[in-house]
Homo-oligomer: A and B are copies of this chain.
């Protein structure tokens, strides 16, 4: 928290916006806990107001939050419910007599938990609760509830809250739990952009008149779907947050593997083993694909957010599915990549001085926080299934519909490919377009197979069939996501025309490097789904050729591995991993770190009490 206060103070002195942004990036790279604090505040708390608050509420709260005068948190999850939001038990009961809401935690399982900054520091929370008006359940809505006195830090009357205690990582952030005992908040504590309760206790669904504008005629039904949209930006944040973390791990692992020789000087670098290349090089490619996609998703999201309610609502299904797919796919891949970095470093990854161990601890939240991956892939697959059906029903109409992102633009052509009955041939293994087409074809082939297996479910057995198809559902979501990311890295490589919302094409001199990365990325993803390729008609020798091309692509990226990690631009003081020092003198720095740590040198304090009674018991002559 001291870190945070200092950052807030320093930022107030900045005049330069770019400097301010760079400063924040560096701080986030330096400290996972700091980045989570910033994230909870700016991505979750502020966003709750932006998405769910009326103009008045936004004007009142956003500046206070950005100035950290109100420290806020985002209380959705309960002890018993998170993946299943419909189970949320916390209630907000409108009391028409007093014109206020009573926020209450009716059971142990309704305890809000894991809430970032609720443990010690938050003065307010955005709280998701079931709105009860005149005994009627009006669905889930967001309320702002004061938690602590901003002056003393003491809990407000009726609020019981505390820290969740020791965690796998990010112990510098106070995740907390909260219980409410009939806590009264005024009527304007309800974030009322999409639904409101009139003073007399009438519930109105639909856009708040305050925000209404003739161009934006939102139906109450459409507005009701919005409570879940709050997590979309959190999921899109993955496109920035995961590379921020994993590029550090990759820099460390690649530098170690380049510096590590098996045996005396002159012997091969560990990085020359094809097995180590196969572990680390595709990981570099995957991170570049994610970074390439960040620009497009954020440009799209900002346009939706600022384009008024209609733009927001229209774009929502597509953006929701895409962000869920990205969140799940990229965080699963990231877990895998971190583990590879760990393994590439042999025993030295076990030392906390080489950073990887702490990344693994910190990372543990990624596959579940912001929505559990196993649940998210279902949302993506459901959307892809529906869109593929639409595309099959009327490809021309589908192709001409303007979608907010380009995530489903591939469907008509991929459906046409799938209709040919044989997998698309790869005549040129260096053609990104051909490899990309295979990926898109496989996505559609899997979607169609999934659709068929669901269609054959017995009456009343749909839920069962859906749950049983989880492996295929997960594959569909991942393939859909990868074909989207592949698009982004092809654009970066200058291999595909960008649209207005895409991020910049790489400078010509760097394009050949991005082509290599894009090729490796595509081959790696195809290889991950080799089983499916074979099941959907690829011949054995094509898969064998895929392996050969993959090894070749790894070797090509390996040639540029050192400049590639240097280009991440992570200085030693951010990496905090002596073995990975930029100047190459890692071993000396590593041993020096060990020797400077407290208690490196003994004898330990416990020697006389615990060791000596065993090794030199009193009353025995010396050996």
Q: Contacts A275-B471, A534-B534; is A615 near B70 (CB within 8 Å)?
A: yes
On whether the beta carbons of B372 and A364 are closer than 8 Å, the reply is no
User: What's the nearest-Cβ distance from chain B to residue A463, in Å?
Assistant: 9
User: Which has the most chain B C-beta neighbours within 10 Å: A67, A77, A120, A588?
Assistant: A120
On whether the beta carbons of A162 and B262 are closer than 8 Å, the reply is no
Partner of A346, one of B83, B119, B167, B588: B83
Partner of A151, one of B167, B547, B616: B616
Q: Kindly state the separation between the CA atoms of A347 and B170 in the bound complex, as whole angstroms.
A: 14
On whether the beta carbons of B120 and A602 are closer than 8 Å, the reply is yes
A278 within 8 A of B: yes
1/0 contact string of A600-623 vs chain B (CB within 8 Å): 111110110111111110000011
Partner of A153, one of B83, B114, B474, B603: B603
A44-83, CB < 8 A from B = 67-71, 77, 79-83
User: What's the nearest-Cβ distance from chain B to residue A580, in Å?
Assistant: 15
A587 within 8 A of B: yes
Partner of A610, one of B4, B86, B603, B610: B4
1/0 contact string of A159-171 vs chain B (CB within 8 Å): 0001111111100
User: Which has the most chain B C-beta neighbours within 10 Å: A166, A261, A360?
Assistant: A166
Question: Closest chain B residue to A85 by CB distance?
Answer: B263
Q: Contacts A83-B262, A83-B346; is A599 near B368 (CB within 8 Å)?
A: no
1/0 contact string of A6-20 vs chain B (CB within 8 Å): 001000000000000
A365 within 8 A of B: yes
A510 within 8 A of B: no
28 contacts between A and B (CB under 8 A): A1-B606, A1-B610, A2-B609, A5-B610, A67-B614, A70-B615, A71-B614, A80-B587, A83-B262, A108-B588, A114-B350, A120-B603, A120-B604, A120-B607, A148-B602, A151-B612, A163-B600, A163-B602, A165-B351, A165-B593, A166-B351, A339-B339, A342-B364, A343-B373, A347-B369, A350-B369, A360-B360, A530-B531
Residues in A lying within 8 Å of B, measured CB to CB: 1-2, 4-5, 8, 67-71, 77, 79-84, 86-87, 108-109, 111, 113-114, 119-121, 123, 148, 150-155, 162-169, 174, 177, 261-264, 267, 273-275, 278, 335, 339, 342-343, 346-347, 349-353, 357, 360-361, 364-365, 367-369, 372-374, 467-468, 470-471, 474, 530-531, 534-535, 540, 543-544, 547, 551, 587-588, 590-591, 593-595, 597, 599-604, 606-607, 609-616, 622-623
**A-B CB proximity, top 4 nearest:** A153-B603, A168-B357, A150-B615, A275-B470
